[in-house]
């Protein structure tokens, strides 16, 4: 019978182990993993990027990933990957360097004040209060990469009548469209699973809305004060909870 501890793993088996190891969180986790048995000891050599901030255990790095702003470049590698949110301004200062890859780019209020209302296509998130009280904003189409809209990001945009949300959107923060009094209708993409408290508070012109089937968290009073909202497209499960999210008004489902 073959000694399992000393078994030489196939390429496919090593790929499986490497895939599992990617979910480990610390140096000690990796040390414990390779100590399970002798066949695990070569797993670290299969990593060409560091799956955690520390690079000490990974000798064959071709890319160094930085997970936090305070992570430091410790190796001479082909690529540096920034896997934490950076501002659009910072991205613009780095984009000329082909050796640096930015995974998460956020659009902040300061970015908007410096760059205007047009959001660059590279942006992944709209940060809190980014467009708050932007009284000249009437229509906007969000880039396809955006996955989250922050707290009060479009609050009090009183002239906003149309916004196109991207299919990749996952979350809509609390008070996101609070008092967008000219917003008339909205289709929320199917991938959205979170809508925060008061997200559409007092959107008086809103007459219809589509709620996605993947929605798992719908904040309190998110449609409170939407007195002209008459038509809601929603799943049966969401429909059972609807009165909790609205003011007293009649609507069709």
Q: Dump pLDDT digits (tens) for 153-197.
A: 999 999 999 999 999 999 999 999 999 999 988 889 999 999 999
> What's the whole-number mean pLDDT along residues 215-239?
84
pLDDT at 50 over 80: yes
Q: DSSP characters for 100-136?
A: EEEEEEEE-HHHHHHH-SPPPTT--EEPTTSSTT-TT
Asked if residue 2 has pLDDT above 70, the reply is: no
Check residues 237 and 116 and name the one with the higher pLDDT: 116
Q: Which domains does the chain have, with CATH numbers?
A: 108-253 (3.80.10.10)
Q: Is the pTM of this model over 0.85?
A: no
Q: What is the pLDDT of residue 165?
A: 96
Res 203 pLDDT > 60: yes
Confidence (pLDDT) at 243: 57
Whole-number Cα distances in Å, 101 to 47, 98, 126, 252: 18, 7, 20, 48
Residue (of 182, 177, 186, 187) closest to 131 by Cα position: 177
Residue 252 pLDDT level (bands cut at 50, 70, 90):
very low
């Amino acid at each position: 019978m073959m000694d399992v501890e000393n078994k030489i793993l196939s390429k496919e088996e090593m790929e499986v182990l490497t895939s599992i190891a990617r979910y480990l969180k610390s140096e000690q986790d990796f040390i414990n993993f390779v100590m399970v048995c002798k066949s695990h000891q070569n797993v670290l050599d299969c990593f060409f990027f560091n799956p955690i901030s520390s690079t000490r255990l990974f000798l064959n790095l071709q890319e160094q990933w930085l997970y936090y702003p305070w992570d430091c470049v410790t190796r001479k590698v082909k690529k540096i990957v920034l896997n934490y949110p950076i501002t659009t301004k910072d991205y613009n200062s780095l984009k000329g360097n082909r050796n640096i890859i930015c995974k998460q780019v956020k659009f902040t209020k300061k970015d908007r004040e410096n760059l205007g209302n047009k959001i660059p296509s590279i942006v992944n998130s709209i940060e809190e209060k980014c467009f708050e009280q932007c009284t000249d904003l009437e229509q906007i189409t969000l880039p396809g990469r955006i996955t989250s809209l922050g707290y009060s990001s479009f609050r009090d945009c009183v002239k906003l009548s149309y916004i196109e949300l991207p299919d990749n959107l996952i979350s809509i923060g609390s008070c996101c469209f609070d008092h967008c009094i000219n917003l008339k209708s909205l289709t929320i993409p199917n991938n959205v699973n979170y809508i925060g408290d008061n997200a559409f508070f007092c959107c008086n012109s809103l007459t219809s809305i589509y709620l996605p089937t993947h929605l798992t968290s719908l904040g309190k009073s998110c449609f409170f004060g939407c007195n002209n909202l008459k038509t809601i497209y929603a799943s049966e499960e969401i429909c059972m909870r609807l009165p909790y999210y609205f003011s007293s008004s009649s609507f069709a489902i």
